[in-house]
Each structure stands twice: as structure tokens, then as C-alpha cells.
Structure 1
Amino acid sequence: MQTITLEEAQARLLEVVHCVMSEKVELLRSIDRILAEDVYAHVSQPPFERSAMDGYAVRSEDIRTVSRSNPVCLKVIDRVCAGEVTDKSVHAGEAIRIMTGAMIPEGADCVVKQEDTDYGQEQVKIYVSLAQKMNCCPAGEDFHQGDCLGWEGEKVDAYMMASMASGGIDSVPVRRKVRAAVITTGEELMPHGQPLLPGKIYNANLAYLTGRLLQLDCNLTEGIFVGDDADKITAAVEKCAEEADVILTTGGVSVGVKDLLPEIMKKLGADILFHGIDLKPGMPTMASLYGGKPVISLSGNPFSASAVFELLMQPLLQKMTGSQQTSLVKKEADIAYDYPGNKGSRRVLKAYDDGHAVHITKGQHNAQMRQGIGTNCFVDMPAGTEPLKAGDKVHIWRL
């Protein structure tokens, strides 16, 4: 087994994948999707000049010398609420009762808030002087027709959805969701919901990978268990490749008598991209290209499978969706307490970053998953790391 670095493994996978096709979805179904092209406003927001408050639309010229002790009395010629339009214009000595959000009537150039009046219905006393445009929201205050509301590669959030709705957009061009398939192998596995037999364990890998693929906004085309039967594994890979963009397998990649994946992929005519990463857990990981689809073959040990899944799939999905959002953000952080170091190969450790320090969990063995509950990062522990003291710097990947 010729091992390569994690970074080389990531690079080899990224070389062979491309963006998935685009599709249009209804605006209200676009949340968290990746834009396939720039989106521009069809209309300005607001599309007209409107009142910022409840009051009276007047001409600033008519109230130029007004004060509390010297009010002016104006004739109220109409009332307009949000969503309504008056056909009357404001002339000298006139006012229109107006509510927040309503269009500023023709002839008016400011709005006197109702608290600065006597609330008159037919005649209104105005007690303040205002300049032009006071208490008026201009057309295009938020954005103008033709402004870009979202750039290609951006993830649609609720603010963007609201802006697109205001901009008159009813369908959104996005990258379709990546279709992923999961094949779990290993005669020791049993599906949940059945009584556990002697020598068997429940299929944690299928549960983890299914959950994470859904969290990463993929469509799961298959989630199956095929044991250690070479013919069934072969048929499963062939079936999954018909629809999936990427296939994940677990188990069967090491050097045991039932580690069948390397030979199966060769017989299928797949191009082996690599077999072996200089990293623990996950050293026997293999990746291949079958029918133009990447097949990532993970270890059968649950933590090994989950760790390498995160480190390979997140950059892969970023490229396949054209996302501008950086996956696997790597940063330096303080370790929360002493750590004995790492005399062996480069290791990935489950940890929790609380914003001040990183807490490495207990239970880092390949099959231990419970200690990963609530974690949010991996510590990248290089080979030969000397013992660390609390406060020493380490590098982490935020997940």
C-alpha cells in the first residue's frame, strides 16, 4: 500500500470532479442552495417613494415657518394607507393623511408624523417645520432594479431570499443537489431494529454517513448493506453509479482476507486514484474513478470512516456545487489542557473548540463514536509531536 499525504489525496479527488448541473427552484425552496449564476433585481425596493411613518403628507413650503406656538392649519383632502394609491395631488394649503409604507402623493415632499399634529380629520394643525424629503423613504432605498442580490457560488440565506422576493424574483438558478450513495460492507454488521446476534454489531457507518450527507444537503440515492460478498458488492457499485454523482463505501479496504474492494474496483475497470493515506485513523482509505464517478472507499471502523469522510467529502462537495463558502476552515488554537503528544503517524483527533481553547475528547480509538457527540472540530496532530502544555498552539479543522 503506497500511502500519500491527506493534502495529495484531496487534490487527486478534486482533479476528477466537476460542478453538477444547474436547475431552477421556486424562491421559497431555495434556502441553503448554491447559486448557479448571479441574480439581479427585477424591480427596485421600494419601487416607489413611501412614508416612513404615520402622519400627514404635506408640502414643506407650507410649513416653513411653523412652530408649536405658531401652527399652520391645512385642509385634509384624502387618506392613503399602505397598499393604496390616491388619485389626488397635494396643493398649497392641503395635506393627505398617510400611513407607514404608503406611496407619497404627488405634490407632497415630506411627511409630518402624527405626534406633531392635532390628528385632525378634515383640518389638521401642524406644529413643526420640516425640510424636503423628511420622513420619506426614497425609491430604491434598499436596492435598485438591476442590482446584484446574489453572486454565483453564494449560499442562499433567509436575507437573500427576502431580498429576491422584494426584487420580483420567483425562481432561483441553483446547483442541483449532489447525489450520493452509500454501500456498507462487513459480515459483522446488522441493521438497526433487529435483535443483535452473537459476534455482530449494528451498522453505525450507514447511520453516520446518511446523517452527514443529509446535513451537507446531498440527496441520498442509496444506503445499502451488502456484507462481504464480492458479486453483491460489484452489483451494488454498478447500480449506484447509474444515478449517484459520488459513491461511498465502508469496509474491505485493508489487507485482510475479506478486504475485497481493491480487487473489485480493478475488475470493474476503475482508475485507482490512491490507496492509502498517511493518516490515522483512515490509513487504508482508497479512492477510484468508475464511470466518471468518484468512489471513496473508507475503513470499516466508524471513527476512521467518519474522520476521513469529513476531510475528503467537504472539499469535494464545495467544488461539485461551485460553493464560494470555504469548507474545512483550518486555524490555530490553544489547547485546553496538557496532551501527551504523538510519537506515531499524523493523527486526527476529535475535539471541541469553545472559542477560547480546544478540548480534545477522551476515546479516540477507531471504533469509538460516543465521544464525538457535540464535537465541532478535528485537531491535526503531526507525526512526532512532543508533549503539549495547556495553552500551546495546535491546528484544527472547523467542521
Structure 2
Amino acid sequence: MLPVSDAEATILNLVKPLDHQRDTEIVDLLAADSRILATPVTSPLDFPHWDNSAMDGYAVRYEDVQHSSEEKPTVLSIVEEIPAGYQPKSTIQAGQAARIFTGAVMPKGADTVVIQERTRQEDNRVFILTTPKLQDFVRHKASFYQAGTPLLPAGIRLNAPEIAVLAAAQCPQLNVYRRPRVAIFSTGNELVTPEKPLQPGQIVDSNQYALAALVRESGAEPLILGIVKDEPIALQEVIVHAIANADIVLSSGGVSVGDYDYVDKILESLEAKIHIRAVEMRPGKPLTVATFPTCTDAINRVYTKHSTLYFGLPGNPAAVLVTFWRFVQPVIKKLAGIAEGWEPVFLKVRSHDELRSDGKRETYIWGRLNLTDGVYEFYKAGGSHSSGNLINLAQTNALAVLPVGKTLISAGDEVQVLQIINA
């Protein structure tokens, strides 16, 4: 049974990010939200594209207005009005000014903008009532970004700010990594789908639905394979199909030591290398992690052109979510091509409630991070924290972590929490 930190290191070392040439696709900018940029972007445009005004006011020569005040205003002739989108026709000479609006091109000869609140206009004259600073409210060409230099690096997630930058840079199409494919299935004779009436001893398969949502939230594409009975032949057929079509396989159930737990034996029969069989954590002790070699061997019924990472997750619903958040989500993010920031995020916060553990295994207690008087506090979810209880997992956004040997964290004490981030 591996300590959690060793399990994490083992798992993340198995992940090879998608290839920046083979595993990419071209998408339109409007379809690029939350995608991972596969190649760096540069632009042939300067930002700003030209010198322009940051405010509504008057474009002037600083040497004309450098001694202006309310008591002794400088009077200038208005020779042109320059709205945004208009190309100035005049060159500002001594004693002249141009009425200018936010974003408009600065006219030749002008080097400063006086905001309209510090002026008074009478007919075609403007009275400058203040002494501005040289180049006040002028946004200079290329002061934000210089054409031909790196604009956005590869390996970043494209959110609204990046989409805006790319639109402004006239990048209508982008080279992004394809979404990782994650096969999902549940095992167990007792499982049924949500629309079927329950018979005695049956359980609704919630794991498949939870995992599909988690996979989508993590930026990957779920391949739903359904419920598989505890029958070795049927289970092997599904596993072979999964590893042939997915980058990651997630199965829930069948990885403990019961008579009907067949997953590990089938993986071994398919020549998988099993790296982890159990982890020193609660919930989530039974966890199988295996890899399949790159192979296109039809005789052995393994049809894959890439290395596939297999996670045999526990069957209990709370354990499924905890092990996904702890181990699988970082794997998906790293595989997807994110250059940095795919690691789990831990915070030290104050615990609002008393937290207990038997200290034998690293223990994860679910709840919420709330901001109270400017300080983050962890609130333990009410009710039972059994691995079979998924009801109080609703609205969870953090997991408190009690290390091995730690049996009590008192209310008000500091606790380490794993922040649950969907993207």
C-alpha cells in the first residue's frame, strides 16, 4: 500500500503530454474557449496600432500649454475634430488644438492630451485651464505589444482574456491540442441505470454520471461504455475496447480483494503493467493504476497506437470522487498539454469544525471553503462521511487532508485543504 505522495509521483511520472504535432487540430476562435493552445502565437500588429488618445479632450503641443492655469489659461484654435476611426487630416501647429475622443488617432504635431474636464470651449477656441504633463493620456504605438514578438505561449488554457487578445490580433483560427479521450465504465451485477426501477439489492450507477461530468469539467472527452457485469469475458472485452479507443480508462468497482473483483487479473492477462494496487488513504484505498504498451497486436486483442493509462477506481461513490480529484484530474490536465498549473492546489486555511481521523491512513474530509471576514475557512459537510454516502458530497469545493498519525484538528486550527477546481 503506497503512501499518497508516492502514488501521486508514480502516477504523474506515467503521463506523457499529447504530442504538439500529432495530437492537434485547427479550431475557429469562437470554438476555442477552454482549449489548450498547441503552438505559440505572434502577431504582425502593434498594440496599440497607432498613437491614440486615452480620454476625451484636446490634442495639443505640450510646449504651448506647459504654463497654463485657471488664472492664466492658454487659448488655442480648434482646427479639427477627431472621432475614433477617423484619420486626422491636420498637423497641429503652434497655437492650435484638435478636439479628440477616446481611442482616436493622435494628429501629427500633437504630443499631449488635455482632458475635457480641464478645459472650456467657446466656438472654435479652447481654453486650457491646467498644466498637463508631457504625453498625458497618450497611448503610444506598440507600448502594449510589439509586432513579431511572442504574444501567447503554447500550453495555456484559452479563457475569455486570451480569446479577446487573439481576436484583436486577427487570429480567426488556432492550433489547439485535441481533447484527451477518457473511457468510463462501471462494474457490478448490482448496478442499474437511473431510469430503471430498483429491485431488492440493486443500486443506481451514479459513478458513471459523476465521472463523465468530472471528465468534461477537466477538459476531456468522455467515452461512456455503460455497466459491465462481474463476468470476466465481458469485462475483458470492454477493457480491450476501452484501451484501443481512449488515452485514459476509468473503471469503478472490481479492484478490491473480493471473489467478484476481476479487474487486476484481467489487466495482467492483457500484459498491462500494474504500478499501484492500493493507496494509504481514506476513502480510496483500493486503487489500481496500470499502463498498456504501445501495441497494434491483433492476436493479443490489444488494438492501440498509443500508451493508455488505466485507473481502476473504487466502487463507493465518495471514494470515486475523492480519488478522481486527488489523482485523475491532474493527469487529464497534464496529458491535455497544459504547460503548468495542472498540479493539485493545496491551501492552508482555518477549520471551522472539529475534524477527526483514526490516523492510520491519510484521510480526506469533504466540505466547502468559505470566505469569512476576509479569511478562508473550511466547513465540514454535515452527515456521515462514509465512502458510500454521496448525498453530502453535493456542493463540495474542497477536501480537508489529515495526514497519517493526525487524529484531531480542533475547530479554529489550521488545516491543509485540496481545492477542487473544475477547469
Instruction: Give runs of aligned pairs for residues 325-344 of structure 1, distance below 5 A.
Output: 325-344=341-360
Structure 1 equivalent of residue 177 of structure 2: 175
Structure 1 equivalent of residue 127 of structure 2: 126
Runs of 4+ in structure 1 deviating by more than 6 angstroms, as ranges, are: none
Contact 1:347/1:380 (8 A) holds in 2: yes
The structure 2 residue matched to 1:373, chosen from 389, 394, 402, is 394
After superposition, the C-alpha distances for 1:146-196 in whole angstroms (9 at most, x for unaligned) are 444433333333223323333343334433222111011111111112222
**Mapped partners of 2:27, 2:184: distance in 1:** 26
Structure 1 equivalent of residue 8 of structure 2: 10
SS at 2:157's partner residue? coil
Label 1:114 to 1:385 Cα distance change in 2 as closer, same or farther (>3 A): closer
Label 1:73 to 1:216 Cα distance change in 2 as closer, same or farther (>3 A): same
Instruction: Give runs of aligned pairs for residues 71-150 of structure 1, distance below 5 A.
Output: 71=73, 73-120=75-122, 123-128=124-129, 130=132, 132-150=134-152
Structure 1 equivalent of residue 253 of structure 2: 251
Offset, 1:309: 1.7
The structure 2 residue matched to 1:288, chosen from 287, 290, 301, is 290
Letter in 1 for 2:317: P
**Mapped partners of 2:136, 2:361: distance in 1:** 69
Q: Which moved more, 1:260-269 or 1:28-37?
A: 28-37
Letter in 1 for 2:388: A
Letter in 1 for 2:310: V
The structure 1 residue matched to 2:334, chosen from 310, 319, 329, is 319
Letter in 1 for 2:128: Y
SS at 2:315's partner residue? coil
The structure 1 residue matched to 2:265, chosen from 263, 266, 269, is 263
Structure 1 equivalent of residue 301 of structure 2: none
Offset, 1:117: 4.3
Instruction: Give runs of aligned pairs for residues 161-200 of structure 1, distance below 5 A.
Output: 161-200=163-202
Label 1:309 to 1:125 Cα distance change in 2 as closer, same or farther (>3 A): closer
TM-score normalised by L of structure 2: 0.84
SS at 1:43's partner residue? coil
The structure 2 residue matched to 1:59, chosen from 61, 76, 81, is 61
Instruction: Give runs of aligned pairs for residues 338-357 of structure 1, distance below 5 A.
Output: 338-354=354-370, 355-357=375-377
After superposition, the C-alpha distances for 1:108-148 in whole angstroms (9 at most, x for unaligned) are 22233334444355x21323354542332212333322444
SS at 1:294's partner residue? strand
Contact 2:409/2:415 (8 A) holds in 1: no
Offset, 1:205: 0.4
**Mapped partners of 1:130, 1:380: distance in 2:** 57
Contact 1:13/1:294 (8 A) holds in 2: no
After superposition, the C-alpha distances for 1:33-86 in whole angstroms (9 at most, x for unaligned) are 333344334322211111122233333344455554555554433322101112
Structure 1 equivalent of residue 218 of structure 2: 216
Offset, 1:252: 1.2
Q: Which moved more, 1:225-234 or 1:387-396?
A: 387-396
SS at 2:343's partner residue? coil
Contact 1:10/1:315 (8 A) holds in 2: no
**What root-mean-square deviation, in Å, do the aligned CA atoms of Structure 1 and Structure 2 show?**
2.6
Task: Please state if 1:19 is matched with 2:21.
Answer: no
Percent of aligned positions with the same letter in both sequences? Answer: 27
Contact 2:78/2:126 (8 A) holds in 1: no
Label 1:367 to 1:132 Cα distance change in 2 as closer, same or farther (>3 A): same
Structure 1 equivalent of residue 322 of structure 2: 307
Q: Which moved more, 1:81-90 or 1:32-41?
A: 32-41
Higher fraction of strand: 2
Contact 1:81/1:102 (8 A) holds in 2: yes
Structure 2 equivalent of residue 395 of structure 1: 416
After superposition, the C-alpha distances for 1:269-289 in whole angstroms (9 at most, x for unaligned) are 222222122222222211111
Q: Which runs of 5+ in 1 are unaligned?
A: none
**Mapped partners of 2:190, 2:163: distance in 1:** 47
